[in-house]
Amino acid sequence: MSFADHYLSKQQTVIRIPLEKPSRDLKYCIVIPCYHEDKLLVALDSVWHCQRPESVVEVVIVVNSSDTDNADVINQNLKTIDEFETWKDTHTDPALKFHLLHVQGILKKYAGAGLARKTGMDFAVHRFNAINQKEGIIISLDADCTCDENYLVEIKSAFAKNDKADCAILYFEHPVTGDDFPHEIYSGIIQYELHLRYHIEFLRFIRYPYAYHTLGSCFAVKADTYVRQGGMNRKKAGEDFYFLQKIFTSGNTVEINQTRICPSPRPSLRVPFGTGPVIHKMLSDNNLILETYDPNAYLDLGRFLEMIPQLYRIKKSTLHSLFPELPDSVREFLITRNVEKKLDEVNQNTANYRSFVKRIYNWFNGFMIVKYLNTTHKKYYAEIPVEKAAGTLLENSGVKADHDKGVLGLLQIYREIQRGQNYTTPL
């Protein structure tokens, strides 16, 4: 019996196309969802030119469409498939194989990035399961990305050096200059990437223990970990975010900063939120100033995080005396989330402090933090330009910034900080 037999038997998304049995040396499987995409070959060329990791790599492209998609989507998908088949004929390597799954007519209520990514990842599990390779690495990439030549070998190195690692988060940089896009798009993506890095860096500043980026194009997970977590979800967007929150609080995550993914900065409405919709909204509103969360909202949250050690085995009377010490923004949010009931539940079901902390953060995860930030900015704080917010955090951290270099200069500082870190969960 192979490691994923039970999981695969319960998945309706598993596609078992008739392929030769995987090589016993199969160790890596790159999954690429592809919807209405005209740049797939750019991504594939990027992977093709990667240094080989001395193990077999398979690439799974999931070209998908719903039962309500128009002719433009269907025709582009068919064109993409034709281009792929032609490209594949001239790109053959026993150590790097490419498979394409064409999934059509998905019911609209299910169709989206989540189901496409899940379909590809479940297929990867199917391939690893055929050789009982539970240590296989499923790598998530997007069809509008490129990667550095050391992409695969750095993934191999990271998992080899950290044999207990379940998941890896890869470093990314959006293109911020060039001739491929108008100036307005580059201006927008500089601010949006700064927003992403500012959010993660502030979480690290207040010592939130699972402060990792959650881009769908920038993570890798062990096959058995993927199975143990119940696989990818089918959310139309943000599937990567929700999936990774489970991984962070239950496994061991590492960062890979020695290579780079370059996601596209293009505007798009193919998903409800994320890079594409943010850039689209900035252009549509003719407002090229992106706003983000007030630094004080994070500092308020930090007060609660500092209090967590005191909540282990806490009595209700003591809890009631502690809560007035919290800022109104955090206290009000926690009350609406039934914090007293949750603490009682967690304390009754944990045998030691370490288990208590992990359960608390499984509840108060990255999703809950975003809810807190959105809620508190409706009553207690107003969003401010990301350039101002990011500059404030650097000042609080004791990092000097040359304000004459503007928002791009700030982004470069944040890139240098995060690429130079070897962040691990501080529990």
- Is residue 392 assigned to a domain? no
- With 0-12 / 13-18 / 19 or more C-beta atoms within 10 angstroms meaning exposed / middle / buried, residue 398 is exposed
Q: Are residues 58 and 150 in the same domain?
A: yes
- Is residue 394 assigned to a domain? no
Q: Are residues 170 and 309 in the same domain?
A: no
pLDDT for the residue numbered 427: 57
190 CB neighbour count, 10 Å cutoff: 24
Half-sphere exposure of 88 (CA within 13 A, CB side): 17
- Is residue 174 assigned to a domain? yes
Per the listing, tokens 């096959």 go with 223
Q: Are residues 37 and 163 in the same domain?
A: yes
Q: Are residues 108 and 199 in the same domain?
A: yes
- Is residue 372 assigned to a domain? yes
Q: Could you say which of 238, 258, 286 is where a domain stops? A: 286
Q: Are 141 and 155 in contact (CB under 8 A)?
A: no
**CA gap 330, 322 in Å, rounded:** 13
Longest pairwise C-alpha distance within the chain: 72
What token pair was written down for 274? 């994320």
**CA gap 82, 75 in Å, rounded:** 11
3-state SS, residue 26: strand
Q: Are residues 275 and 314 in the same domain?
A: no
Q: Are residues 331 and 266 in the same domain?
A: no
Q: Are residues 139 and 220 in the same domain?
A: yes
Q: Are residues 81 and 220 in the same domain?
A: yes
Give the CATH number, domain containing residue 204.
Answer: 3.90.550.10
User: In degrees rounded to 5, what are phi and psi of residue 92?
Assistant: -120, 130
Q: Are residues 264 and 342 in the same domain?
A: no
3-state SS, residue 138: strand
Among candidates 234, 30, 46, which has minimal Cα distance to 123?
30
3-6 long-range contacts (CB < 8 A, ≥24 apart) are: 3/129, 3/132, 3/134, 3/223, 3/224, 3/227, 4/125, 4/126, 4/128, 4/129, 4/134, 4/223, 4/224, 4/227, 5/129
Q: Could you say which of 286, 316, 337 is where a domain stops? A: 286
3-state SS, residue 401: coil
**Strand 253-262 to strand 167-172: parallel, antiparallel, or no bridges (unpaired)?**
parallel
Give how many domains the chain has, as a whole number.
2
- Is residue 412 assigned to a domain? no
What token pair was written down for 156? 């191999």
- With 0-12 / 13-18 / 19 or more C-beta atoms within 10 angstroms meaning exposed / middle / buried, residue 371 is middle
What token pair was written down for 79? 């064109």
Q: How many residues does the chain have?
A: 427
Q: Give the model confidence (pLDDT) of 150-183 as tens digits.
A: 999 999 999 999 999 999 999 999 999 999 999 9
Q: Are residues 109 and 22 in the same domain?
A: yes
> Bridge-partner residues for 384, per DSSP?
292
The low-confidence residues of the chain, meaning pLDDT below 70, are 269-273, 402-404, 426-427
**CA gap 2, 130 in Å, rounded:** 7
Q: Could you say which of 286, 318, 347 is where a domain stops? A: 286
- Is residue 390 assigned to a domain? no
Q: Are residues 362 and 337 in the same domain?
A: yes
Q: Are residues 210 and 306 in the same domain?
A: no
pLDDT for the residue numbered 422: 76
What token pair was written down for 41? 């070959």
- Is residue 336 assigned to a domain? yes
Q: Give the model confidence (pLDDT) of 271-324 as tens digits.
A: 666 777 888 888 888 878 999 999 999 999 999 999 999 999 988 888 888 889
**Strand 137-140 to strand 146-147: parallel, antiparallel, or no bridges (unpaired)?**
unpaired
DSSP 201-235: HHHHHTT-TT-----TTSEEEEHHHHHHTT-----
- Is residue 115 assigned to a domain? yes
Q: Write out the H or E segment, with its range, that includes residue 87.
A: helix 71-89
What residue numbers bound the domain in which 47 lies? 5-286
Q: Are 63 and 103 in contact (CB under 8 A)?
A: yes
